[in-house]
């Protein structure tokens, strides 16, 4: 594969995009899991589909309109949640299906042959273009800069929002910022794992990393590393066997998680047994 990697541009793009995606997943996934926003992220991811459909309908870059949709969705959920007494779970459920429904309609309205949507739904890492790669790089830089420079504030925000508010922090601003970052993250993952599978990459590396560390910073770094390992393994296997990359990555990640947790439990039990 190494020779192929040096030879083929699409493989280089795929390789770089997995690395960029894992960094985002490690950092944002940790925040999403610790703030209990996994469902929200799932909702935002699916709403993105509406934007992608709109992109095809209007003839603009689907990723751009997808990003627009996901940002609107994330801010919309937060706004409506504050204005009304609706549970955010219910709102997420509604946005989730509304986004998908709009996507289906836009695609149906698009003149000519209907485009193939599977690469957006399930990811197609081998078709990542230079332009998309550049977009991912920009997102990554934005996310890393924001999180690194406000790390302590984010940590306090995740741990105890109320206490941070008392200290005069602009909680609403932080919330909107976080939601926009989640929207960006989800869109960034569209090409790697697809809309439907993206949530796994935001949770599995973190769940596994949580087995080994109690430190938020280490948790982020370890999650990035684990994400990269899963993605590269998935890329390798999918390339060798010619099977879909997104699905391969997810299956490898979840099986690794289950195996490691099982082994860890087993060794812990062995140690605790009397000699």
Partner 1 sequence: MSNAIELKNISVYYGQVCALAHINLTVKEGDYLGIIGPNGGGKSTLLKVILGLIKPSQGTIRIFGRPLTPKGRLISYVPQFSKFDLRFPINVRDVVLMGCLGKRNGLLPKYGKEDQELVDCIMKELGIFDLRARQIGQLSGGQLQRVLIARALSAEPKILLLDEPTANLDNKSSNQIYSLLKELNKKMTIVLVTHDLAHISSSVKSLACLNKTLFYHGEPELNEPIINNTFGCPVDLLAHGVPHRVLRHHEEAK
- Which positions lie near partner 1, rule CB under 8 A? 34, 149-153, 155-156, 158-160, 162-169, 210, 213-216, 219
Written as six digits, the tokens of 124 are: 């197609």
Q: How far is the CB of 146 from partner 1 (least distance, A)?
A: 11
CB of 268 to partner 1, least distance (A): 16
Q: Which is nearer to partner 1, 27 or 189 (CB)?
A: 27
Cα Rg, the chain, nearest whole Å:
19
Helix segments in 110-193, DSSP class H: 118-122, 130-149, 151-159, 161-166, 171-189
Q: Which is nearer to partner 1, 155 or 251 (CB)?
A: 155
Measured from the CB atom, the residue of 73 and 222 that comes closer to partner 1 is 222
The residue among 39 and 153 lying less far from partner 1, judged by its C-beta, is: 153
154 dihedral zone (left: phi>0; alpha: psi -120 to 50; beta): alpha
3-state secondary structure (DSSP) of residue 81: helix
Smaller CB separation from partner 1, 127 or 218: 218
3-state secondary structure of 32: helix
Q: What is the nearest approach in angstroms of partner 1 to the Cβ of residue 73?
A: 26
Q: How far is the CB of 214 from partner 1 (least distance, A)?
A: 4
Closest of 54, 82, 45 to residue 200, by C-alpha: 45
Residue (110 or 155) nearer to partner 1, CB: 155
> CA-CA-CA-CA torsion for 265, 29, 221, 216, nearest 10 degrees?
-80
Please give the backbone phi and psi of residue 111, each rounded to the nearest 5 degrees, phi first: -70, 155
Nearest distance in Å: CB 223, partner 1: 11
Minimum distance from residue 71 beta carbon to partner 1 (Å): 24
What is d(CA 251, CA 197) in angstroms, rounded to the nearest whole number? 10
Q: How far are the Cα atoms of 48, 180, 231, 273 from residue 103, in angstroms, in the given order? A: 8, 21, 27, 56
């Amino acid at each position: 594969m190494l020779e192929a990697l040096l030879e083929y541009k699409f493989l280089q793009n795929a390789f770089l995009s997995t690395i960029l995606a894992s960094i985002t997943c490690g950092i944002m996934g940790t925040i999403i899991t610790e703030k209990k926003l996994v469902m929200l992220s799932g909702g935002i991811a699916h709403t993105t589909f509406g934007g992608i459909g709109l992109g095809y309908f209007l003839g603009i870059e689907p990723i751009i309109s997808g990003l627009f949709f996901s940002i609107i969705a994330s801010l919309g959920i937060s706004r409506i949640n504050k204005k009304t007494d609706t549970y955010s779970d219910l709102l997420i459920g509604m946005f989730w299906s509304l986004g998908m429904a709009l996507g289906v309609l836009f695609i149906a309205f698009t003149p000519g042959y209907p485009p193939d949507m599977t690469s957006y739904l399930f990811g197609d890492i081998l078709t990542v273009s230079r332009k998309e790669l550049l977009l991912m790089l920009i997102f990554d830089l934005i996310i890393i800069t924001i999180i690194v420079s406000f790390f302590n504030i984010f940590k306090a925000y995740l741990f105890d929002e109320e206490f941070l508010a008392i200290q005069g922090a602009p909680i609403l601003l932080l919330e909107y910022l976080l939601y926009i970052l989640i929207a960006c993250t989800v869109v960034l993952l569209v090409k790697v794992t697809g809309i439907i599978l993206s949530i796994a990459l935001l949770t599995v590396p973190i769940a596994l990393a949580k087995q080994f560390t109690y430190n938020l910073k280490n948790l982020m770094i370890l999650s990035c590393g684990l994400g990269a390992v899963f993605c590269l393994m998935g890329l390798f296997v999918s390339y060798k066997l010619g099977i879909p990359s997104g699905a391969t990555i997810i299956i490898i990640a979840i099986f690794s998680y289950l195996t490691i947790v099982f082994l860890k439990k087993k060794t812990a039990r062995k140690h605790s047994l009397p000699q």
